[in-house]
Amino acid sequence: MRIRVITAVYFLFFAVLFTGLVQLQFVRGSYFSSLAEKNRIRLVPIPAARGPIRDRNGEVLADTRASYDVYSIPEEVTPESRSRLLPILGPSAAEEMERAGRESPLLPVRLARDVTKEQVIRLEEQRLDLKGVWVESVPIRFYPQGAVGVHVVGYVGLVAEHREALETFYGVHTDLPEGVMGVEEGLNDRLTGVMGGEELEVDNRGRRQRLLGIRVPQQGDEVQLTLDLELERLAQALLAGFRGAIVVMDPRDGAVLALASSPAYDPNVFVEPSRGALRAGLLNNPERPLFNRATMGEYPPGSTFKMITAAAALAAQMDPSRTYHCSGSFRLGNTQFGCWKEGGHGDVDLLEALTVSCNNYFYNLGLALGPDRLSQGALAFGLSQPTGILLGKEAKGLVPSKRWKKSALNQPWYDGETAHFAIGQGYIAVTPIQVARFVSCFANGGYLVSPYVVKGSSEKPRPISLDPAAIRTVRKGLFRVVNDPSGTGKNAHVEGLAISGKTGT
């Protein structure tokens, strides 16, 4: 009986053992084989160079240069190598090696990023004596024009979630730059290219044994902008010392030739590790140099809005020859409104009012129209909505109305607010790029364009919902603003050129 029990126990033991072996070998064999393969094979990513960004004439605005980074495997670095490294890379590299030596002595660690050519030469001269240390070339973004065009081009930064993903690779490339702001952000996928990589065989301690395969990285696409570098540089120079923006746009199709915001900043500080203090200074600067005033700044349009008021009045069949008297002040109820010219302009019609930018005339015109028709006119010119320009987040501004004020502020609308509205003051807010857009409507005969900065991305202009005859009449007034001796824009007159414009405060 005892022998039978022992035999049964042995039989049961071997049955369990056999079942386990079958499970390991046949049922889960491919799974464990995959795990073994993953332990033996490592992928080392090779970053791709970002595509260049050029202006309309081929001048380089953003490119890629070679950056030299120093790496080591702490376990393989001898005491003599450490002593030789210290004078070249400084104490920070030694500290990083000590840290890595405690945490992961068999894995590569970056000791220094973007070292100088002099440091590379010294390292290469002593390469045979620097066991476990090597220099690797990595593409890095750079901006040869510095701050010129920065609010259009943008810059690249290192994205934390991508770094964490890449750190799961065995290897040394753990940074993936991504576009931040401007074209770098808007066209990041086109500019990034395709990352390459090496497939390595490693031993049971994680050390490289041999190269199994390699995929060559592919550079990102080249992007050509509509910007003119020289015009952009001039705009930036004109803004020096001021806070503001300049937009130069082709009114026929919306191509942006210059878009400058001031103060500006050098985008290279975000890709060069040694300039960390400058980065911190930019982020904490009360002047907000990172803020693109051309697309994000919201301001009252001032007297530039008078051309919209005039167009809305003409669309409402108001007689452009009708005159209003300007004595220098305008009384509405208990409130006194002033014209900029002391003593006034006398009797003025629509064209004369545009020429001399008479406030009193437009107070009367706005009250005759009413706030709702003023709002409709502003909306027809694309205000209170983003222009769609490819430069990241864009402010939409505000076109007020009776309904808006009741909803937003729970207050009634007053006639004095209509008077302010008619001359571009009060609640109304626009961005400089919106102003460039609505002014273009008068230049091109009544078509709303979509501003764009990348060549080949233009959209077909669409006609606005106002009478083309009204647009032509306002255009006559805008020509007189610059070319009439009494025009407020007479200083912009250039002999031999047909220039139109409108002043605004």
Report the distance separating Cα 232 and Cα 240, nearest Å. 13
466 neighbors 327 (Cβ within 8 angstroms): no
How do beta strands 335-338 and 244-249 pair? Answer: unpaired
Tokens 């590790």 correspond to 273
List of residues 6+ apart from 286 with CB closer than 8 A: none
Q: Is 303 a catalytic residue?
A: yes
Task: Return the structure tokens found at 109.
Answer: 């660690």
Which three-class secondary structure string do you get for 101-135? HHHCCCCCEEEECCCCHHHHHHHHHCHHHCCCEEE
Kindly compute the dihedral angle of the four CA atoms of residues 327, 330, 336, 337, in this order, to the nearest 10 degrees. Answer: -100
CA distance 358 to 487: 11
DSSP assignment of 398-419: B---HHHHHHHH-----HHHHH
| Spatial distance between the Cα atoms of 202 and 209, rounded to a whole number of angstroms | 5
* Residue at token pair 């240069």: 65
Q: State the number of CA atoms in the 13 A half-sphere of 141 facing the CB.
A: 32
**137 - beta bridge partners?**
68
Catalytic residue among 67, 72, 303, 357: 303
Spatial distance between the Cα atoms of 339 and 326, rounded to a whole number of angstroms? 8
161: exposed, middle or buried (C-beta count within 10 Å: 0-12, 13-18, 19+)?
Answer: exposed
Helix (H), strand (E) at residue 320: none
CA 87 to CA 82: how far, in whole Å? Answer: 9
Can you tell me the distance from the alpha carbon of 239 to that of 256, in angstroms, rounded to the nearest whole number? 18
CA distance 65 to 68: 10
Buried b (16+ CB within 10 A) or exposed e, 172-204: bbbbbbbbbbbbbbbbbebbbbeebbbebebee
For the stretch 459-467, contacts whose Cβ atoms lie closer than 8 Å and that sit 24 or more positions apart, written own/partner, are: 459/254, 461/252, 461/253, 461/254, 464/380, 464/381, 464/382, 465/380, 466/311, 466/312, 466/315, 466/377, 466/380, 467/314, 467/315
Alpha-carbon span 188 to 162, nearest angstrom: 14
Active-site residue list: 303
